[in-house]
A and B are shown apart, each in its own frame.
Chain A
Amino acid sequence: MSVYGIIAVGLISCVLVLVVKQYRPELGLLVSIAAGCVILLAVLSKFTPVIEQLKSLVYNSGIKKEYLSIMIKSLGICYLTQFASDICNDFGQTSLASKIELCGRVTLAVLSMPLMITLIETVSKMVGTS
């Protein structure tokens, strides 16, 4: 699916959401969720080769592969929390949306803790305080 196709799907589903929302507001929101799922599924299938390329690049350069996997994981968590909080915003529940975003931030902090510890240890070794 090219960019043009995704743009077309987005515009058409905008019109459909508006039409359905007039009569049944709750079903209109569900149409928008469906369109979001379809578009994201179409984009994600294109993303796999990029990650494979990145992985082979990092493996060849000698960087530890755990670092890259943490980065890719946090990217996935970002996409998921953004998707969910956007849906909550569409439903008008801004407080729920911000809580989901907070949850994503906490998960990212927990995930990147080992990296932070490694960084701090490296710096303190260089400075010579440890």
Chain B
Amino acid sequence: METPENDPKINRRKFIANGARASVLIGIGGLAALVAKKTIAGQTVWQLDPAKCIQCGRCATNCVLTPSAVKCVHVYAMCGYCDLCGGYFKPETKTLTTGAENQLCPTNAIKRKFVEDPFFEYTIDEPLCIGCGKCVKGCGAFGNGSLQLQIRHNICVRCNQCSIARSCPADAFSRVPANQPYLLKESGQEENNNKK
């Protein structure tokens, strides 16, 4: 004897009902994802424009965080990998070695690594970087400007009114879309928009 559960007609009904439920769920899920995406796209975060930055030092002193959420970012595509790096060495350094007395960075946050004669690679040790911009100034004046200051969004606490922006004399801070949170000069733009 056939029970209602075994009745193929009832099963078909069940199948259609389940299908309808699934469609509704998928629709709601899709709509939620779309709304979330649009919401994120509409959000903005603070960022500083390296083209306007004058390396005044206030990024290091005026952030609510210590050390600052502003860090030096190295745009490798622009770097000349110079032996005598204007962002790494103090002017008139007698020997091009990694001795602390030779380094421009007050916190030893730039690491110099030999690649091949006469090229060296420079990397930023972010936890040590205080965002003072000394290296940025040196690199911009004597090199290709591959060292640039940026707010690192994995550190920034997203104050409604950024305290550095309020004191920036160059008006270099602005709100940018959260899905494109970095503003880097020239060839580094694409490379660094991919940073999280």
Note whether A and B form a binding pair: no
Using CB atoms and an 8 Å cutoff, list the residues of chain B in contact with chain A.
Answer: none
Using CB atoms and an 8 Å cutoff, list the residues of chain A in contact with chain B.
Answer: none
